[in-house]
Amino acid sequence: MNELYQTLISVLGADEDRKGEWHCPCQFCGKLSSPKDPHHSFNEQGFHCFVCGEGGSLKKLADQAGITTETPLPIVPKPAPKPKPVPEWKKHATEYLQSVVSADELFPKWKQYKPLSTASIAENYLGYGKLPHRSSRCTHNRLIIPLIQEKRLVGIRGRQVECDCGKWLSASGSEMVLYNSDTLEDAAGKAVLIVENPIDALLLEQQNIKAVATMGVTMWKDEWTEMIKHSGCTLVTVVYDKDLAGNGASTEAEYHQMAEEWKLKNPKARQVPMPNGIRLVNNLNKAGIRATLYHWEEKHPFKTDIGDLLCEQ
């Protein structure tokens, strides 16, 4: 896009249509024009008015409008961002947390899901109950995982146990955190695992293995990279699930199978995406963090996660 063309777009306040044509009032007859009511438009080749018949080069249009490449561009003030409303449940976070951590079925339900110790359940304020009122489409009881940052409840995740509303759901307005990031405070000289499931991170901690969880393979923040970098850990191993979205496959044949299954679900996509585990390892290494990818064995079926291995022990 040449300089004069950019200047015309900015100074004339032009609006673009789907065909890449820019609409603005005709500088010769004054007729208004817009993508919805086209009368006068221009592109990189020139301009034309369908009302008065004027047309020609961009230079002609610029001369008529008194515009040159030296014309100051208008300063368009950015609208102030609207403050996000505070979710109602955050106003009563303490009461909500107290209700789910004191549920009668708390410990049986959690131990039925994964072999967490009673201490792990209590120390991490794991709960059982419904997600906050009007914060989710699901109104059934779930295993509740509070997301706490700087001693504040900033998010709530719920894992299904008795419904089909979705395996993992979050209360609306939840902030995403690097789960169990407090473990990085004394990770100097130690290895750290990055996993998907927050409960798998707690299971690893029960075995004195440093672990944090992203609660999804597509979520990663630059600030998390800095947290790990400043922790002084010696090695980071990414242990996402054995699937295309996670760590990928064990063999080339498995990868092709994963890729073909993905293509069937995404027929319009041009390219099979890189596994997010590989992407994260590459980014951590670029940031100066020694990172490696956990390679699943061929004997492990697709969708295996670190929690499956821990539960086998």
pLDDT per position as a tens digit, 260-291: 999 999 888 888 999 999 999 999 999 999 99
pLDDT of residue 313: 66
**Nearest to 95, CA basis, from 123, 129, 120:** 129
Would you state the pLDDT for residue 305? 94
Task: Find the helix packing angle between 3-11 and 58-65, rounded to 10°.
Answer: 40
**Hey, how many other C-beta atoms are within 10 angstroms of the C-beta on 43?**
14
Where the chain has pLDDT below 70, the residues are: 1, 76, 313
Q: What is the pLDDT of residue 78?
A: 75
Asked if residues 58 and 47 have their Cβ atoms less than 8 Å apart, the reply is: yes
The reported pTM is: 0.74
CA torsion 168→171→176→181, rounded to 10°?
A: -80
Beta bridge partners of 43: 46
User: What are phi and psi for residue 143, nearest 5 degrees?
Assistant: -75, 125
- List phi, psi (to 5°) of 14: -75, 150
Domains of the chain, with CATH numbers? 3-65 (no CATH), 88-170 (3.90.980.10), 181-312 (3.40.1360)
Q: Which of 143, 149, 140, 144 is nearest to 97 (CA)?
A: 144
pLDDT at 84: 82
pLDDT digits (tens, 9 = 90+) for 95-142: 999 999 999 999 999 999 999 999 999 999 999 999 999 999 999 999
d(Cα 14, Cα 41) in Å, to the nearest integer?
9
What's the distance, CA 81 to chain centroid?
Answer: 20
Sheet holding 55-56, edge to edge: 15-16, 22-23, 40-43, 46-49, 55-56
Query: In what side-by-side order are the strands of the sheet with 235-239?
Result: 210-213, 191-195, 235-239, 291-293
Tens of pLDDT, residue by residue over 173-183, are: 999 999 999 99
As beta bridge partners, residue 238 has: 194, 293
